[in-house]
C-alpha cells in the first residue's frame, strides 16, 4: 500500500503514524507546504508573548524522527491538484519550483485552513500580518520586538485575537481589538463572554465592539501601516494582526469529484471517508460529526484533528472505526481568567429548534474559609423536558476549565442535570466545597 498524506501537522501526521504502527510495510509519504512538521500551533501566542522563549519546543516530532519510522516527510512541497481517476497528485516544490506527478493507493487530505483576509484598502501595507503558521509566529515575534512598534491593533475578537491581545500586552504594547459583532469569543454565550471583555479592559486592552474595519492608511516614506479606519473612527497603529477567522484550505479540490460543504470543508463520514473511494480527510479542512447535534459541523480544533486523524490512519489500514463525535469543547486563558465551553451554546440549541432551559450561577472554586477562594460563573443549557445537559460554559480565575471536562463527560454520556447534581465528586476545603460548583449549577436547573 502506498499512502500519500497532504498536510503534515496534526491530522495528517496522526494518520501517518497510526498507519505505520498497524502496517509496517506501507509506503508513506507526507507533503507539507511549511517548514515544520507536527507542531503545536496553539502555542504560538505564548511564544510571541515571551512566555516560551524557544519555538522549537512546539515541534512535537522532527522530520528525522519520522524518517526513522519509515515515514518520508517532504517539507516546502505544495499539492496543487488531485486526479482521483488516475490516482495521482501534482506537487510543486516551493524551493526549486519543480512540478511533478506522484501516484497513490490511498490519499489522506489534511490541509488545514487559510486565514480569511478581505481585500481592505491599504491591505498591502507593511506591518499587517496573520497568525496561522509557525513561520508567522516567528516573524511576528521578531517584528513586535522592534522599539518602534508600540501600538498594535487586532482585527477580530475570536480565540486567536484574544490570545494575541494578552500576548502583546505582555510585550508592553498598547493593544486595541476591533470586533464587528456585539461580543467577543462567539462560541461562548454573551453572559460568559462579558467576563472576558471585562478582563481585557481591566488589563488595559481597548475593546471596540460593534465596530467594522474599513481600511488602512500608511506612512508614504516607509510603506508601513500607521492607522486603521473603521466606521466609527480612526486609530493609530504601528502593527496590525488580522484575526477574522479561517476557511478550509481546499481550493485545489474544487471540481475534482470530492464533495465539499458550502464553506469548502471536505465532507466525510464518521470513518473519515470522502465521497471518492480511497480518499480520506480529517482536521480543520474537513467537517466533523457533532455528538449532540447528530450531524456534521465545522469546528476547526486541534482536538478533533488529532482524534480524527488517528481514526483515519486506522481505517486506511483496514479498520472501520467511527468517530464518536465532537462536543466542540474548547478553553482559553484571558490574563487571569480561565474560560471553557462544551456542547451546545444557547443560540445553537435555538437554531436547532430545541426546547431548552438555561441557568447561570455564581459559586466558588472552594469554600471561603480556606484561603484563596475565587468565583466561578457557570451557565448550563439543558433540554427542558428530559433535563438532559446539552451545553456548559464556565469562567473564573481558577478551577474553571477542568470543571468543563466534567460537564463534557456528562454531555457525552447523556446525563441529566439531576444525575450530575448527585455525582460523588471529590471534596476537601483546598479544592472544592461539599457541594461543588458543578453540583450547584446542576441542581439549579428548573
Answer whether 328's CB lies under 8 Å from 343's CB: yes
Q: Which are the contacts of 205, defined by CB distance < 8 A and separation ≥ 6?
A: 165, 169, 175, 176, 177
HEC readout, 68-79: HCCEEEEECEEE
Cα dihedral 78→81→84→85 (10° resolution): -140
Residue 173 CA to residue 152 CA, distance in Å, equals: 7
d(CA 29, CA 21): 15
Q: Residue 319 CB: number of other CB atoms within 10 A?
A: 13
What's the rounded Cα separation, in Å, for the pair 315 and 86? 22
Using CA atoms, how far apart are residues 388 and 406, in angstroms rounded to an integer?
Answer: 14
Q: Edge to edge, what strands does the sheet with 234-236 contain? A: 213-218, 225-230, 234-236
Query: What value does the CA radius of gyration of the chain take, rounded to a whole number of Å?
Result: 23
- Strands 213-218 and 206-209, how do they pair? unpaired
* Cβ proximity of 337 and 397 under 8 Å: yes
Residue 358 contacts residue 351 (beta carbons within 8 Å): no
Q: Nearest CA to 246 among 111, 153, 370, 367?
A: 111
Counting Cβ atoms within 10 Å, is residue 104 exposed (0-12), middle (13-18) or buried (19+)? buried
308 counts as catalytic = no
Residues 421 and 443 sit within 8 Å (Cβ to Cβ): yes
Three cell numbers at 36?
Answer: 515544520
- Number of Cα atoms under 13 Å in the Cβ half of residue 43: 16
The 3-state DSSP class for residue 361 equals strand
What's the rounded Cα separation, in Å, for the pair 392 and 408? 8
Rounded to 5°, the CA angle 362-365-367 comes to: 95
The three cell numbers locating residue 121: 484598502
Q: Please identify every residue annotated as catalytic.
A: 42
Amino acid at each position: 500500500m502506498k499512502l500519500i498524506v497532504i498536510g503534515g501537522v496534526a491530522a495528517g501526521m496522526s494518520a501517518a503514524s497510526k498507519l505505520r504502527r498497524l502496517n509496517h510495510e506501507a509506503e508513506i509519504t507526507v507533503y507539507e507546504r511549511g517548514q515544520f512538521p507536527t507542531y503545536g500551533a496553539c502555542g504560538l501566542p505564548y511564544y510571541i508573548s515571551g512566555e516560551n522563549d524557544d519555538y522549537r519546543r512546539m515541534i512535537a516530532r522532527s522530520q528525522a524522527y519520522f524518517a526513522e519510522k519509515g515515514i518520508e516527510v517532504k517539507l516546502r512541497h505544495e499539492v496543487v491538484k488531485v486526479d482521483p481517476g488516475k490516482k495521482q497528485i501534482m506537487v510543486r516544490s516551493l524551493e526549486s519550483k519543480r512540478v511533478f506527478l506522484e501516484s497513490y493507493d490511498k490519499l489522506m487530505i489534511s490541509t488545514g485552513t487559510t486565514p480569511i483576509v478581505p481585500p481592505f484598502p491599504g491591505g498591502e501595507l507593511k506591518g499587517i500580518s496573520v497568525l496561522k503558521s509557525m513561520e508567522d509566529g516567528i516573524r511576528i515575534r521578531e517584528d513586535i520586538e522592534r522599539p518602534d512598534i508600540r501600538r498594535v491593533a487586532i482585527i477580530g475578537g475570536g480565540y486567536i485575537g484574544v490570545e494575541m491581545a494578552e500576548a502583546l500586552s505582555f510585550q508592553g504594547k498598547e493593544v486595541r481589538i476591533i470586533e464587528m459583532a456585539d461580543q467577543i469569543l462567539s462560541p461562548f454565550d454573551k453572559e460568559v463572554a462579558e467576563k472576558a471583555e471585562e478582563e481585557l479592559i481591566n488589563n488595559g486592552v481597548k475593546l471596540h465592539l460593534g465596530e467594522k474595519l474599513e481600511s488602512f492608511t500608511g506612512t508614504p516614506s516607509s510603506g508601513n501601516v500607521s492607522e486603521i479606519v473603521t466606521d466609527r473612527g480612526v486609530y493609530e497603529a504601528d502593527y496590525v494582526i488580522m484575526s477574522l477567522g479561517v476557511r478550509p484550505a481546499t481550493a485545489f479540490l474544487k471540481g475534482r469529484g470530492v464533495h465539499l460543504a458550502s464553506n469548502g470543508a471536505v465532507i466525510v463520514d464518521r470513518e473519515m471517508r470522502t465521497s471518492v473511494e480511497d480518499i480520506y480527510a480529517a482536521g480543520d479542512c474537513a467537517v466533523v460529526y457533532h455528538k449532540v447535534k447528530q450531524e456534521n459541523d465545522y469546528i476547526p480544533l486541534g482536538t478533533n484533528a488529532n482524534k480524527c486523524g488517528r481514526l483515519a490512519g486506522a481505517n486506511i489500514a483496514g479498520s472501520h472505526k467511527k468517530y464518536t463525535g465532537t462536543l466542540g469543547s474548547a478553553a482559553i486563558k484571558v490574563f487571569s481568567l480561565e474560560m471553557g465551553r462544551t456542547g451546545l451554546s444557547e443560540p445553537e440549541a435555538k437554531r436547532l429548534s430545541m426546547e431548552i432551559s438555561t441557568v447561570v450561577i455564581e459559586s466558588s472554586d472552594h469554600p471561603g474559609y480556606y484561603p484563596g477562594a475565587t468565583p466561578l460563573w457557570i451557565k448550563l443549557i439543558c433540554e427542558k423536558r428530559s433535563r438532559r445537559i446539552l451545553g456548559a460554559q464556565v469562567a473564573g480565575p481558577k478551577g474553571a476549565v477542568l470543571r468543563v471536562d466534567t460537564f463534557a463527560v456528562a454531555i457525552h454520556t447523556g446525563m441529566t442535570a439531576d444525575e450530575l447534581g448527585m455525582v460523588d465528586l471529590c471534596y476537601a476545603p483546598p479544592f472544592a466545597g461539599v457541594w461543588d460548583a458543578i453540583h450547584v449549577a446542576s441542581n439549579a436547573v428548573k
